[in-house]
Structure 1
Amino acid sequence: MVTGGTGFVGGHSVARLLREGYRTRVTVREPGQEAGVLAALRGAEVDPADRLEFAVAHLDADGGWAEAMDGVSHVLHHASPFPSAPPVTEDEVILPARDGALRVISAAREAGVRRVVMTSSYAAVGYTLKPDNHYSEADWTDPDTEGLPAYHKSKVLAERAAWDYARTHGDIELTVVNPTGIFGPQLGNRPSGSVGLVRGMLTGQMPVVPVMYFGVVDVRDVVDLHLRAMVHPKAAGERFIAVSGSSISFFGMAQILREHFPAAAGLLPSAELTVEQVREAAKTEPALRDAAALRGRIPVISNEKARSTLGWEPRDVSETIVATAESQLRQGLTLPEGDSVPS
């Protein structure tokens, strides 16, 4: 079963599961949202035949989860609130993330599900700064870190709550995947925040970017890691960071786009704010608080555990950024000199 099937990772997960022959149930928050999943499957050129079904269940309510879990062997729990703007109160994000995770894992345990693979985030790992800037699965973001955005705090508290539940009830296996910034091809009609970032660069909406370095991972590799974690015996009780390789900056991302899509050169970011400029701007612009919190540091994020334990081999960062842009061209984005998707 897949929660959050209407989302970026969820859509790719459903497509991959169906492609590999799994019977798949997808939860949606309300009737009618099935169309988003089906649109993603058309984008992936996957025919679900009779192997796809839907269930209605909401992270904020108990109803529907028992029925959704009936007959399920494994759960990929992707669903979690991702606000497009800073919430009025932190609880608007924290409560559905934390309580929703507990509803999912509790219902899974009661239904006899063997393992839940939960999508957390690098936000739960590396947003409390360390002197050496090196981060692995052993690290945790302190939810009381000054200036930590509500979304990041929600990922920490939701993951902590899930681990506490799994340890208290030893008859349910939990594995957690902590992706860094997720990019890659858009399947449906609704771009994710990261895909929208690349689109914004290509359309001249971001002439200046903040100095900020972060990990990147391809959505297809995130799904691959989830599926490996779903079935590998050594994945039970473990968390795995999903990152392609070295951290990159917004400006570095623009350089990749400039190299591969020269027609967009005049639209791409041409300047980078300094650390001090970001810090000042973040006082009045909530969207910059994430960058301000990282203070221009370059995190060294390890993917060794996923590679050595599960045999995971992620794509190169450049390949992922290019694939993200190419998907926008397929979605109808036109560049000044008519760059098209390579054949």
Structure 2
Amino acid sequence: MLVLVTGGTGFLGSHSVAEILRAGHRVRLLVRDPAGVVPALDPLGVDVDGLELFRGDVTDADAVAAAMRGCDAVLHAASVYSFDSRARAAMRAVNVRGTELVLDAAGVAGLDPIVYVSSFAALLPTDREPLGTESPVGTPRETYMSTKARAEAVARRAQRAGAPVVITYPLATLGPHDPKLGDQAGRVRNALRGLMPMWPSGGFPVGDVRDVARLHAAVLNPGRGPRRFLAQGRYVSTREFVRTLRRVTGRRLPAVHLPASGMLPVGALTSLVQRLVPAHIPAEYGAIYTCLVGRAVDTTATDQLLGSAGTTFETTLRDTVRWLHRAGHISDRLAGATAVLEAT
């Protein structure tokens, strides 16, 4: 099977490409900048020379349609994932319009399956717990989450129309080798740097990028029709997050936990200030809001599909810190016990 992958040089996309190739499929990448292919995929053991590259953007209808010619299936992983308020225009263009174009073109081209990478955030906020594949589309009060909810509505309309759309819902995803050091790995780095002494109460579901990649390879079967799968993982409170980070690094990491509802106005003010400040400010409205509305998840169907319950949170966090250290994003001192393990 020849699989078109969008977003293949990103965190989820690159790991998914590696897993799809291991499953025996061929891959064509739709990329804006081919120069990013080797740095993203070579560290994962991908033979880049064996990939087909098509230069283009998911917001370009002609490029999307041309890239799909001759393909059997598509994994649409391209997305702008950020709580940085400066990226709001790009999020609306890529996350919403890009999804409309890719899913429409895939339907016209007769691809099967059409895998759309959504997010658990598209189902928030909700009074229902746990989050599941039948949870309604949310109406979140944050730009990234809102764009993913709007794109989720697009994907569900296609499912109702009978298109073979498979929707996956990655959780807050961590793990090794993030080519662009996105929000989640960046948050761990900031915590280790002492830039996050205050944490909101609550929590959020966390998963491992390698489990998401295995899910994407596992759903590439034609003829199964519309399906939905929450990626593996579990709800982690912010207190547990900090405790686990202390445990894997052996560091004290002092932290104060405050009510998320009380921190929201600070996050909202920070988002406004961020639009005027070139340096990134760690206190993000979206991260605080996620902790406030985060819920447990039901991953039973995915566990059955993959035959296991996925990677433990402690393993995921330890491997994330190890990679941050190995890649030079944090020093020996910041990595703590993890640096000692790397050296032995």
TM-score by length of 1: 0.86
2:189 — aligned with what?
199
CA separation in 2, counterparts of 1:294 and 1:72?
37
1:290 — aligned with what?
286
2:119 — aligned with what?
121
Q: Does 1:211 align with 2:201?
A: yes
Q: 1:257 to 1:128 in 2, by over 3 A?
A: closer
- Letter of the aligned partner of 2:227 in structure 1? E
CA separation in 2, counterparts of 1:27 and 1:320?
29
- Give me the identity figure in percent: 28
1:335 to 291, 316, 332: 332
Q: 1:46 to 1:58 in 2, by over 3 A?
A: closer
What SS class does the counterpart of residue 198 from structure 1 fall into? helix
Q: 1:157 to 1:335 in 2, by over 3 A?
A: same
The number of equivalent residue pairs is 325
Q: 1:57 to 1:339 in 2, by over 3 A?
A: same
- Letter of the aligned partner of 1:129 in structure 2? T
Over residues 303-328 of structure 1, what are the superposed CA-to-partner deviations in whole Å (9 max), with x where a residue is unaligned? 11212355453111111111111111
Q: 1:84 to 1:295 in 2, by over 3 A?
A: closer
Moved over 4 A (4+): 294-298
Q: CA RMSD in A?
A: 2.5
CA separation in 2, counterparts of 1:174 and 1:295?
30
Asked if structure 1 preserves the Cα contact closer than 8 Å seen for 2:155 and 2:167, the reply is no
1:80 — aligned with what?
79
What SS class does the counterpart of residue 272 from structure 1 fall into? strand
CA separation in 2, counterparts of 1:154 and 1:38?
29
Q: Does 1:229 align with 2:219?
A: yes
Over residues 146-195 of structure 1, what are the superposed CA-to-partner deviations in whole Å (9 max), with x where a residue is unaligned? xx101111111112112213433x4x41000011101000153x312111
CA separation in 2, counterparts of 1:334 and 1:227?
35
CA separation in 2, counterparts of 1:140 and 1:108?
24
What SS class does the counterpart of residue 341 from structure 1 fall into? helix
Match runs of 1:265-284 below 5 Å: 265-266=251-252, 268-284=253-269
What SS class does the counterpart of residue 320 from structure 1 fall into? helix
What SS class does the counterpart of residue 300 from structure 1 fall into? coil
Asked if structure 1 preserves the Cα contact closer than 8 Å seen for 2:232 and 2:303, the reply is no
Q: 1:71 to 1:297 in 2, by over 3 A?
A: closer
Q: 1:269 to 1:302 in 2, by over 3 A?
A: farther
2:40 — aligned with what?
40
CA separation in 1, counterparts of 2:83 and 2:260?
24
How far apart are 1:102 and its partner, in Å?
1.9
What SS class does the counterpart of residue 135 from structure 1 fall into? coil
2:20 — aligned with what?
17
1:244 to 225, 233, 236: 233
How far apart are 1:232 and its partner, in Å?
7.2
How far apart are 1:21 and its partner, in Å?
3.4
Alignment gaps of 5+ in structure 1: none
